[in-house]
Amino acid sequence: MTAPALAERPVSAEAGRLRLRRALRALLPAFSLVLVLAAIAYLNSRAISYFGFNLMLNLAIPIALATLAQMFVIAGNDLDLSIGTFVGFVGCVAATWLHDQPLLGVLILIGGVAAYAALGALVAWRDLPSIVVTLGMSFVWQGLAILLLPKPGGSAPHWLLSLMGVKPPFVPFPIVAAIVIAVVAHIGLMRSSYGAILRGSGGNAAAIGRAGWSLFKAKVTLFALAGFFGVLSGLALIGITTSADANIGNGYTLLSIAGVILGGGEFVGGRVSPIGAVIGALTLALAASPLLTFMRIPPDWQVAANGAILIIVLAARVLISQRGAER
């Protein structure tokens, strides 16, 4: 029997059309980023420079890391409403314990990841609704942060400041960091063999279980990864802001959810994209402040703009799906 080589295999017209629609949806995050960059360039051409990018994308790294943390949770059909306060907690630890007693600080951060893993275990074991559980945990992290730093203060460890202050030639550090983060996450979740199982647990958990995999282990892994990336996000944030306060991460919950969705992810079905999530985070970092400042939107309304962007992107996605679908 002679079968045509892999490359020459005919693709059915139906699968081809679907792939095109999927490609369009995959390009949407990149398209949004280009759109925002174009708007910025139009409003203030000097912003498009090494110095300009460094400044504007300053906060993109912690946002991207928090977005990836959220992405892992969403991949398992859950939602983490505590990531913002967790990032704030990590920041407070970084500015206090990590600076004064590094060993203890590291232990506390490891404990934070362990707490996330334990949360995953709880959710898997008792089939808990993640919205309520993470909403409760957000209060715990907030309280702990307040106990650490009742008033803003502390100072970041030197090594953290140096790391975040790196100035590579030609390409601004935030962009380099974003690429590295995206690639690592992509390889881990999309290319590795266990990553397929993790994503499968969101796509058809029953099938994964029937095939003999431990859904419990998958859930714990996803939450532990979220905790780990949350720690990285908090560290990166403090490396930039140099000092901390208990509320510093609170906006990151919505931003992380928005980043995942902007990046082409969906709430159910295990459909997420690490690269899309990072691009989405970059877009949000630009749109959340620099773009609005250049557009001279009053600060009162910048909060609204975050919500509006999310709505617009989701509406665009719906329109693309509807035009493609033969209803």
Residues in 152-181 that interact with other proteins by CB under 8 A: none
Residues 6+ apart with CB under 8 A from 287: 36, 305, 306, 309
256-275 residues in contact with other proteins (CB under 8 A) are 257, 261, 267, 269-271
Asked if residues 154 and 96 have their Cβ atoms less than 8 Å apart, the reply is yes
Residue that has been written with the tokens 């969906």 in this structure = 266
d(CA 60, CA 66): 10
Residue with smaller CB distance to other proteins, 1 or 166 = 1
Contact between 111 and other proteins per CB under 8 A: no
Least distance in Å: CB of 312 to other proteins?
10
- Interacting residue with other proteins among 90, 208, 288, 292 (CB under 8 A): 208
Least distance in Å: CB of 77 to other proteins?
10
- Interacting residue with other proteins among 107, 147, 171, 184 (CB under 8 A): 147
How does DSSP assign 275-325, residue by residue? HHHHHHHHHHHHHHTHHHHHTT--HHHHHHHHHHHHHHHHHHHHHHHHHHS
- Interacting residue with other proteins among 46, 167, 210, 323 (CB under 8 A): 210
Q: At what angle do helices 274-288 and 60-75 cross, to 10 degrees?
A: 140
10-29 residues in contact with other proteins (CB under 8 A) are 10-12, 14-15, 18-19, 22
Segment contacting other proteins by CB under 8 A, of 43-51, 155-163, 220-228, 299-307: 299-307
Residue with smaller CB distance to other proteins, 38 or 315 = 315
CA 308 to chain centre: 19
Contact between 188 and other proteins per CB under 8 A: no
